[in-house]
A and B are shown apart, each in its own frame.
Chain A
């Protein structure tokens, strides 16, 4: 696709969990580090409430229409009454605000003079209160990307949502540990010009956030939402891309989907179909399929269920069209059916009803006949309780009506490299002030107390100067180890050796089954101090790490002693030399010495010893 020609425009919204206590209470949680233990559970319902115009927001109406019950699993170790919506919020966490100000500074943003916390209505159950608290901290910044500067619109602090455990028809179950963790939300302007630009911008933002060292790391701690539009299309938001490498594919596939939907519209404009309300005539075909041998029909048949069918005039073939790879218009429509109704037995005549679903040719013919379908018509079928089937067919019909308008504004959910419909795009009226929290003035003192953060480039430069090679420097900047590495520099041990031990040796050991991840900062500090004081040799370090993982209670000094892993002094080297077999040719001496005493001596010292012996 020629993205420029297609009028491709994308914006990124990055959500990064901060490694501080929660935004509006004094709990701390990092779901990647702590096991969840259920202390209690709550059962709640959420109701849609009218917005300022006396109307319900489309998303709110959509979620409330589902009338589900929510169950919340509470771990008292990671959540309190605030998350349970049983206590007003505490004051906004100043540590989180400080990080936000720091990042705002790095993005050259304009910080507002007073920050106000808002409530954003959320009714899918992921916020116990029915809203997410969010605070706009800064505006109008600039992100440097290889393709040039990208305007950054906003930087907000907001509450992380509760994590979903299970969704059933009538109930969704959430865990509260994640709820309320501070999220830094950074939104770029919709000015990314191609899928690869999307990827580069996401990478640039990610590395900028990591250098603050105050962000949580690991699965789910950073999420990218994408909004994409093409000329003539619509702004579509895609949520929940967890893998950076999928972003460009998601962007490209969304552009493709919009392009294909525009083609469908063009075709429907050229050959008008009638989709007025009176064309919505569901027909009960339960009797027709009552004795069908189709496995699908059998599976979805019950005494209380029926089969409703709907003719869609002139639509034959349309549902087969591919909007994205492996994603036909039929599948797209099924996504709406899934979200708006809980009907499960949805089918249509563009599918292989006989080959795939086992309906007989006679059944298909009689279905067509009873619906008065011509060959150019399509029919949709739904199995299940009558009310559900009716709702499902209404959804299909409405979605087909939307085809005449082109691309609908909506929020979609990433599923691998493609996306499926999630909900309508929220209206603008979802936000109103959080009256329980006072505004915070960003005083000059507060703003100037924020320390300037070294950028990734500056950091890399410094690591190069410390003697790390180019690759090791780059890896350390991106690694979760860099805060530890920075602290270990005070041991004065060789920086490059420490970096490779942290990034390479420990990884290799983990592959062999030695879990070095449990080592604490003090352990590493002791190890490298022993090394920098000349008490152990380089080669002994991996061995010591192995022993340590098996005996976590012993300190390294003890392990050195117990396993004779101390480094030889000059005299000990001399003595060791004497133990070598006599009469070895001089060129074999070094290899033989190292074979025997590799763990106790450094090669350069052995070489010096051998030079002296000549």
Chain B
């Protein structure tokens, strides 16, 4: 945004962003297309010069502006994408935004959410040769950090509608990567009776680049949806730093493990479902899966919004848990240390130095007593939590906490919210939490690679 002084000067000459202007001052003159400023209250004009470069020029006292008689630059038209008829397997696409669904407005340089769902198709022309697109829908588009429970419910309803079309072999959901693994869990739990593949897919590089990784991800996702034998939700993303294959990670066992790399998504405590090559080859890697079927999908979108995810740290005060109880939370997932530890003050020999008020055991008892479900997962991510190995774990278990075995903290959060939504009271919710709905529990862990 420009400062008031600049905006007034622009108004005086009838110029706005996109117009060609000239700025004079006694010592210099610049000509270019006026672009929006990326900064707040700025008195530096951003001009695109004739040579294509952008520069910033201060609008200082004594400068004058002139509007040039050049036609205004307008953002490019939405490219028209025709869904070609073909005999390929039919899939449908739900475009929900994220990096994979952005476009750059070259006139201003801003990155914006796509204006039409079909824009996603424009980035990956190979899709037409792989599958037939039955329907493209976009219930909303947003950056995935803004995702709210109502988005998840809407998405599940839309997914079910598309999945229940008999000609649809599977669906692809394009999504921002930040919370993609949450959404994969949500769909895994909310879509009841799922028998068709659902690929959730994103991109770590934007489509304006030649190196756009979403192109291969989208293609592999389409192969997963259109051709694979899995009746499950999977995150389909790059398998390595190269453009050579994708993994289909089970929706309940996947996590974003890198902020920016292509192969950020990894299966934790489970093997990926399959390796998918951009030429359409699908290599199954996991024998434990639900086979594809044409069963009807229903949606159970009940979701307790008063659910929290809390990470432990040394010196963490149990007041944090009391606060959630006070605020009426019905469930919390603790991301505890390693096997499931929280501070108890009951270890070692220097007992005198541990302030009893720092122990989490009484707070957990209070929370459970107030009807809250306290679930325990591990910040180690890999491996399972145990209620028995050490005395401190037994204390926590004895206080009423529910140990969620090898569940990822994010998956546990979604699962607990669903369980609380569906159950009649905390005991029932605890029982539901420990059921295996979508292979979120794996009782046979393999060694780390």
Could you list which residues of chain A lie within 8 angstroms of chain B, going by C-beta atoms? 42-54, 60, 64, 81, 84-88, 110, 112-116, 118-123, 128-131, 134, 136, 154, 156, 428-433, 435, 438-439, 441
- Compute how far the CA of A456 lies from the CA of B448 in the bound complex, rounded to whole angstroms: 62
B261 proximal to A (CB < 8 A)? yes
Q: Which residues of A contact B77 (CB under 8 A)?
A: 54
B44 touches A428 (CB 8 A): no
- Compute how far the CA of A44 lies from the CA of B242 in the bound complex, rounded to whole angstroms: 5
Binding stretch for chain A, among B47-55, B225-233, B283-291: B47-55
Could you list which residues of chain B lie within 8 angstroms of chain A, going by C-beta atoms? 28, 38-39, 44, 46, 49, 51-58, 75-77, 79, 104-107, 109-111, 122-123, 204-205, 207-212, 215-216, 241-244, 259-262
- Compute how far the CA of A441 lies from the CA of B75 in the bound complex, rounded to whole angstroms: 27
Determine how close the nearest CB of chain B comes to the CB of A189; give it in whole angstroms.
12
Q: Which residues of B contact A84 (CB under 8 A)?
A: 241
A44 touches B55 (CB 8 A): no
A113 touches B56 (CB 8 A): yes
- Which A residue's beta carbon lies closest to that of B80? A54
Determine how close the nearest CB of chain B comes to the CB of A7; give it in whole angstroms.
23
- Compute how far the CA of A466 lies from the CA of B216 in the bound complex, rounded to whole angstroms: 65
- With A87-B260, A130-B209 known, 9 other A-B pairs at CB within 8 A are A47-B215, A81-B261, A86-B262, A115-B56, A122-B210, A128-B211, A131-B210, A433-B54, A438-B38
B244 touches A432 (CB 8 A): no
Determine how close the nearest CB of chain A comes to the CB of B92; give it in whole angstroms.
24
A sample of 17 inter-chain contacts (CB < 8 A) reads A47-B210, A47-B212, A47-B215, A48-B210, A49-B207, A49-B208, A50-B76, A54-B79, A60-B210, A85-B205, A85-B211, A115-B55, A116-B56, A118-B54, A156-B53, A431-B53, A435-B109
Q: Which residues of B contact A131 (CB under 8 A)?
A: 209-210
Q: Which residues of B contact A85 (CB under 8 A)?
A: 205, 209, 211
When A86-B261, A441-B44 are in contact, do A129 and B109 touch as well, CB less than 8 Å?
Answer: no
- Compute how far the CA of A68 lies from the CA of B208 in the bound complex, rounded to whole angstroms: 19
When A114-B44, A114-B56 are in contact, do A51 and B106 touch as well, CB less than 8 Å?
Answer: yes
When A85-B211, A129-B209, A433-B109 are in contact, do A42 and B53 touch as well, CB less than 8 Å?
Answer: no
- Compute how far the CA of A160 lies from the CA of B391 in the bound complex, rounded to whole angstroms: 59
B210 touches A42 (CB 8 A): no
Q: Which residues of A contact B211 (CB under 8 A)?
A: 44, 46, 85, 128-130
- Compute how far the CA of A448 lies from the CA of B52 in the bound complex, rounded to whole angstroms: 28
- Compute how far the CA of A53 lies from the CA of B75 in the bound complex, rounded to whole angstroms: 8
B210 touches A46 (CB 8 A): yes
B260 touches A43 (CB 8 A): no
A52 touches B209 (CB 8 A): no
Determine how close the nearest CB of chain A comes to the CB of B268; give it in whole angstroms.
20
- Which A residue's beta carbon lies closest to that of B206? A435
- Compute how far the CA of A121 lies from the CA of B109 in the bound complex, rounded to whole angstroms: 14
- Compute how far the CA of A433 lies from the CA of B259 in the bound complex, rounded to whole angstroms: 22
Determine how close the nearest CB of chain A comes to the CB of B259; give it in whole angstroms.
8
Give me the 3 closest cross-chain CB pairs, A-B, nearest first: A130-B210, A114-B56, A52-B106
When A87-B261, A128-B211, A131-B210 are in contact, do A52 and B76 touch as well, CB less than 8 Å?
Answer: yes
Determine how close the nearest CB of chain A comes to the CB of B127; give it in whole angstroms.
13
Q: Which residues of B contact A88 (CB under 8 A)?
A: 260
A43 touches B53 (CB 8 A): no
**8 Å CB contact of B52 from A49, A54, A118:** A118
- Compute how far the CA of A433 lies from the CA of B53 in the bound complex, rounded to whole angstroms: 8
- Compute how far the CA of A116 lies from the CA of B51 in the bound complex, rounded to whole angstroms: 13
**8 Å CB contact of B260 from A86, A134, A429, A441:** A86
Q: Which residues of A contact B104 (CB under 8 A)?
A: 432, 435
When A42-B242, A52-B105, A115-B56 are in contact, do A136 and B208 touch as well, CB less than 8 Å?
Answer: no
- Which A residue's beta carbon lies closest to that of B126? A47
- Compute how far the CA of A288 lies from the CA of B244 in the bound complex, rounded to whole angstroms: 44
**8 Å CB contact of A112 from B55, B105, B123:** B55
A136 touches B56 (CB 8 A): no
Q: Which residues of A contact B215 (CB under 8 A)?
A: 47
**8 Å CB contact of A123 from B39, B53, B210:** B210
Q: Which residues of B contact A120 (CB under 8 A)?
A: 52
Determine how close the nearest CB of chain B comes to the CB of A239; give it in whole angstroms.
18
